[in-house]
Amino acid sequence: MYHKCITSVSLMYRKCLVSVSHVSHLGVKEYSMEKYIYELEMKVRDYECDLQGIVNNANYQHYLEHTRHEFLLSTGVSFAKLHEQGVDPVVARINMAFKTPLKSGDEFISKLYMKKEGIKYVFYQDIFRKSDDKVAIKAVVETVCVVNGRLSDSELFDKIFEPYLTANH
């Protein structure tokens, strides 16, 4: 399954742990289009850039999060409604490798694929500058599910994500 969306960006902000470490996905030189199961087109806004004229590193986390939330919506699940039901998928770790800076007005495509490792859902997310398809960032985002305040394996997510997980085997 592969989903493609175009949207204007309305970002939700969250705290998360960021660490940059060696992850095989971050060092890959070739990118396989078959792995991606979802993509979202966005555009850099002026206020997302720092004094150097490039996107501030923290904003890439917002782009990645927005892509995951839109992916979840494409499966028919609302992040907000999950929270109301006591189900909270949360970021446990993010590893990011910055490759090519984005600048104000750049259009870009955020793509993802995912795997399940134990109780974690691991999202492999890459952002490409649309004008030349250069990689802006490669990231690995590990998420876990908290159900009613307790770390838990989620049968709901297992069911929702099953077609996307089997597509990557």
For the record, the structure tokens of 111 come out as 């793509």
- Short-list 59, 85, 67, CA closest to 3: 67
CA end-to-end distance (rounded Å), the chain: 13
∠ at Cα 70 (27, 19), nearest 5°? 35
Closest by CA to 123, choosing from 111, 113, 132, 131, is 113
Our answer to whether residue 50 is catalytic in this structure is: yes
- Distances, alpha carbon 38 to alpha carbons 23, 33, 73, 101, in Å: 21, 11, 11, 22
Q: Which two tokens stand for residue 136?
A: 């802006």
Do residues 161 and 116 lie in contact, with contact meaning Cβ atoms separated by under 8 Å? yes
Cα gap 153→164, rounded to integer Å: 17
Of 50, 106, 153, 158, which is the active-site residue? 50
Q: Would you please indicate which residues are annotated as catalytic (active-site) residues?
A: 50
